[in-house]
Structure 1
Amino acid sequence: MTDTTEESTAGSVGPRKPSWRYIGPGIVVAATGVGAGDLVATLIAGSKFGYTLMWAAVIGCVVKISLAEAAGRWHLATGRTLFDGWRSLGRWTTVYFAFYVVVWGFVYGATAMSSSALPIVALFPGGPGLKTWAVLTGLVGLAFVWFNRYAVFEKVMTVLIGVMFVVVVYVAIRVAPDIGASFAGLAPVLPDGSLLYTLGLIGGVGGTITMAAYGYWVNAKGWTDTRWMKVMRLDNRVAYITTGIFVVAMLIVGAELLHASEIALTKGDRGLIDLGTVLEDRYGAVTAKLFLVGFFATSFSSLIGVWHGVSLMFADFVEQLRRERAGSAAGGEGADGAAAAEVASGAKERSAAFRGYLLWLTFPPISLLFLDQPFGLVVAYGVLGAFFMPFLALTLLWLLNSSRTPAEWRNGIVSNVMLAGAGLLFVVLCVQQVRDLPW
């Protein structure tokens, strides 16, 4: 890569050197990837094992940096989108993605709306109920993504992650962390019964389909060739260092506030409501309400992040199939470059497929909010969700070691070790997730 100011394929100008002013897609992926359920899982790990698993949070941050860097590198080095890369591996990837994105999106839509509504209900207990607020948050998310393009979307996500960051770090400082114990937690130790919590910390927080969307957000920012590679890598590191700070802060809260007092939280998003109650008892109503605002920012940023990022992926999926059916050169360089350029120009954000998937994420899942036990779909969601991360890690390993990637940008030893390790980790987590399902 040369540090010049030549025009990129998207019509933008490549930077002379990486700069903080270019940061954007990383902020989006960090805000989207960290959901309320992730924070609860981290809190529970801290409440059970104190600071002992701090090292696992650091390793998890490094694993995510490697995965997202690989996704971004594929987009920039090849000029092809990630779905086009998957399609080149065989039709099985198309079948898998089609099934996954439809079922996952249906169930995730209801989950995201419910999660965003929980803190609103807690903040305004005399107002409408959970289902009403859930529907309203979904409709607001739909309208926001429908009528805005990436530039506005990125700015709003930056505000939301700013709120998340301030609140989570404030709460961690408020509970007066034991600095010595937290540094001691960087030494790799596995207490009895901690293996699954450790794997979950390494693989879970910030690890969703939105990691695959990172390359699409890179293109949407206008970065479409290798002149943006250094900027992308800086942007990606900022994203997952931010995520790492979230994880460490919530481990501190779990260790200091819950571990010593032996307070148990409800699993899932509702555990943050429990924490809000504990914070109110210990530190007063202002701290509790501030925390609930941060809870909302965490949940709603994940909602609109998925509404935007996964809809971009779905639009690319549909466009690739359309080109294939039309008999165009979808597998050649012209079609590949067009796919990335369409994302960069915002064409996919205006497409019928993008908006159709937005509607799919919003309206059909509303029906799940009124079902007491959508058991079968929850099982399907758990299985598909468990299988996606190993699919992402192992297909990136395949793509970035093949002739599909220019030799200069193929994996080195470090990248191969990290992606192979991530793939193995996610396979283990996948097996465990499937074993834990109530068959």
Structure 2
Amino acid sequence: MFKKMGPGVLVAAAFIGPGTVTACTLAGVSFGYALLWAMLLSVLATMVLQEMSARLGIITQKGLAEVIKQELAHKYVRMMVVGIILSAIVIGNAAYEAGNIGGGALGLEALFGISQAGYYPVIIGFLAFILLYIGNYKVLEKVFISLVILMSLSFVITALLTKPNMMMVLQGLFIPKVDNENILTVIALVGTTVVPYNLFLHASLVSEKWKSKKDLNLAKRDTYVSILLGGIVSMCIIVAAASVDLKEVHNVMDMAKALEPLYGTSARYFMGMGLFAAGVTSAITAPLAAAYVAANCFGWKNGLKDAKFRMVWMVILGLGVFFLSFDIKPIEVIKFAQIANGILLPVIAIFLLWVVNRSTLMGDNRNTALQNLMGISIVILAVFLGIKSILKVLEVL
């Protein structure tokens, strides 16, 4: 089964991380079922953009950053755009990495208490460093992914056990409600699902698995099915959290209450194991993604053992630990990471839309009018949400 899985599963697994669990729990606790529409919209947007990225990777057999660099003829424009992409990915992944490490730290808090909480980010960071440097983390990764699957199934079952009001669930799914109270949570849900660095990862990974245009349908099915399943899990987290009698979430114990209908008092340990697993696996993939983008931009060919490649992931990992070393609450960092990604999304989406419309590059497989309409709509929505986020943050300041 695992040999037949494509990169779509990795994309889905990437957004079922500690950021998703936190953002969806906050959404459910604070707004009930009202923001399910934001998750549904995010899943559809992810399907559209990731399909474009996969199609680009199969047709060109290159990564997204490499294609953008190749297609820009003017030297100074190319340098500027490569600089923007690098900045976006480095900033976004550094914020994401802090959220990933914070999520793993929350998991350790649930398992071992908060007496040594200050050391937890360093422990997670050190573990991720060792696994990245050695590169032999496949066995551990399978264990971690198994724990994340257990957590996902737990939320699906819990959502069913809470016997949600289906009329209210349908209203939440199909009747959008946006106001000043929930706008940052909406952006966090978009940011945790439509992850900019996944667009770069997907294009690179499909070119390793599939080599022919005949495989486009396989890649499309892999993308749609995987992301849909990931989206269903995210929605179940919102539904499960909506049943919790809380006003807001302060710590991992509050988050664990969403699983109490299934596990009772043991819920904290299941939440702890799941968050730890999701945190460590994501703490490995985010720095690697940034390093791959840098390698594409600068044309490094020596792979994982390259000193420059290693330096990039070390910087991202180091920034993640650094951001959490000033007694900042992990939940706050995770929320910031999702918002930062929501703001960076339109930048990356615009570049992706541009290259998949190049007939010299894509031939008959360039975007259709419908795909362009959906893509442009996603960009406009992402820009709107990004501007609203900035204005909201300025109000707070």
Given the two structures, how large is their TM-score scaled by the length of structure 1? 0.76
Q: Which amino acid aligns with 1:350?
A: K
Partner of 1:146: 133
The change in CA–CA distance for 1:318 and 1:107 in structure 2 (over 3 A counts) is: same
Task: Report Cα offsets for 1:103-157 as digits up to 9, x if no partner.
Answer: 444444433222211111221127x622322112112222223333797687466
Aligned mate of 1:298, from 253, 278, 296: 278
Please tell me whether residue 255 in structure 1 is matched to residue 237 in structure 2. Answer: no
Aligned mate of 1:412, from 358, 363, 368: 368
Task: Report Cα offsets for 1:335-390 as digits up to 9, x if no partner.
Answer: xxxxxxx7xxxx5233333322222123354343333469xxx8997886444210
Give the Cα separation in 1 of the matches to 2:298 and 2:277.
Answer: 31
Give the Cα separation in 1 of the matches to 2:272 and 2:366.
Answer: 44
The change in CA–CA distance for 1:136 and 1:57 in structure 2 (over 3 A counts) is: same
The change in CA–CA distance for 1:278 and 1:393 in structure 2 (over 3 A counts) is: closer
CA contact (8 A) 1:45 1:197 kept: no
The change in CA–CA distance for 1:274 and 1:245 in structure 2 (over 3 A counts) is: same
Give the Cα separation in 1 of the matches to 2:53 and 2:254.
Answer: 37
1:191 Cα offset (Å)? 7.2
1:239 Cα offset (Å)? 2.4
Task: Report Cα offsets for 1:300-343 as digits up to 9, x if no partner.
Answer: 332222133232222222326xxxxxxxxxxxxxxxxxxxxx7x
Task: Report Cα offsets for 1:46-72 as digits up to 9, x if no partner.
Answer: 334433443442232111001111111
Aligned Cα RMSD in Å?
3.4
Aligned mate of 1:227, from 214, 238, 250: 214
The change in CA–CA distance for 1:248 and 1:393 in structure 2 (over 3 A counts) is: same
Give the Cα separation in 2 of the matches to 1:133 and 1:156.
Answer: 20
Structure 1 segment 112-127 matched on structure 2, within 5 A: 112-125=100-113
Which structure has the higher relative contact order (CA within 8 Å, separation 6+)? 2
Q: Flag the structure with larger Rg.
A: 1
- Higher helix proportion, which one? 2
1:76 Cα offset (Å)? 1.0
Give the Cα separation in 1 of the matches to 2:7 and 2:198.
Answer: 11
Aligned mate of 2:384, from 428, 431, 436: 428
Residue 299 of structure 2 aligns to a residue whose secondary structure is helix
Aligned mate of 1:313, from 293, 305, 308: 293
CA contact (8 A) 1:46 1:253 kept: yes
Structure 1 segment 91-102 matched on structure 2, within 5 A: 91-102=79-90
CA contact (8 A) 1:43 1:250 kept: yes
Q: Which amino acid aligns with 1:132?
A: Y
CA contact (8 A) 2:37 2:174 kept: yes
1:225 Cα offset (Å)? 3.9
Task: Report Cα offsets for 1:213-260 as digits up to 9, x if no partner.
Answer: 22223234x324423322211221122112211221012113222xxx
Q: Which amino acid aligns with 1:411?
A: N
Could you tell me the percent identity over the aligned residues? 22
Partner of 1:338: none
Residue 22 of structure 1 aligns to a residue whose secondary structure is coil
The change in CA–CA distance for 1:153 and 1:279 in structure 2 (over 3 A counts) is: closer
Please tell me whether residue 274 in structure 1 is matched to residue 274 in structure 2. Answer: no
Q: Which amino acid aligns with 1:114?
A: G
Give the Cα separation in 2 of the matches to 1:166 and 1:382.
Answer: 23
CA contact (8 A) 2:187 2:338 kept: no
The change in CA–CA distance for 1:24 and 1:297 in structure 2 (over 3 A counts) is: farther
Please tell me whether residue 348 in structure 1 is matched to residue 303 in structure 2. Answer: yes
Structure 1 segment 195-210 matched on structure 2, within 5 A: 196=183, 199-200=186-187, 203-210=190-197
Partner of 2:249: 265
Give the Cα separation in 2 of the matches to 1:68 and 1:153.
Answer: 27
Task: Report Cα offsets for 1:63-106 as digits up to 9, x if no partner.
Answer: 10011111111111122210022223332211112333444444
Residue 437 of structure 1 aligns to a residue whose secondary structure is helix
Partner of 1:47: 29
Partner of 1:85: 67
Given the two structures, how large is their TM-score scaled by the length of structure 2? 0.83
Aligned mate of 1:361, from 296, 312, 316: 316
Partner of 2:8: 26
Partner of 1:172: 159
1:31 Cα offset (Å)? 1.7
Give the Cα separation in 2 of the matches to 1:188 and 1:282.
Answer: 29
Aligned residues: 384
Q: Which amino acid aligns with 1:171?
A: T
CA contact (8 A) 1:164 1:294 kept: yes
Give the Cα separation in 2 of the matches to 1:107 and 1:387.
Answer: 12
CA contact (8 A) 1:42 1:251 kept: yes
CA contact (8 A) 2:192 2:341 kept: no
The change in CA–CA distance for 1:177 and 1:263 in structure 2 (over 3 A counts) is: same
Give the Cα separation in 2 of the matches to 1:42 and 1:383.
Answer: 13
Q: Which amino acid aligns with 1:370?
A: S
Give the Cα separation in 2 of the matches to 1:157 and 1:219.
Answer: 26
Q: Which runs of 5+ in 2 are unaligned?
A: 73-77
Please tell me whether residue 58 in structure 1 is matched to residue 40 in structure 2. Answer: yes
1:193 Cα offset (Å)? 5.9
Partner of 1:287: 267
CA contact (8 A) 1:279 1:287 kept: yes
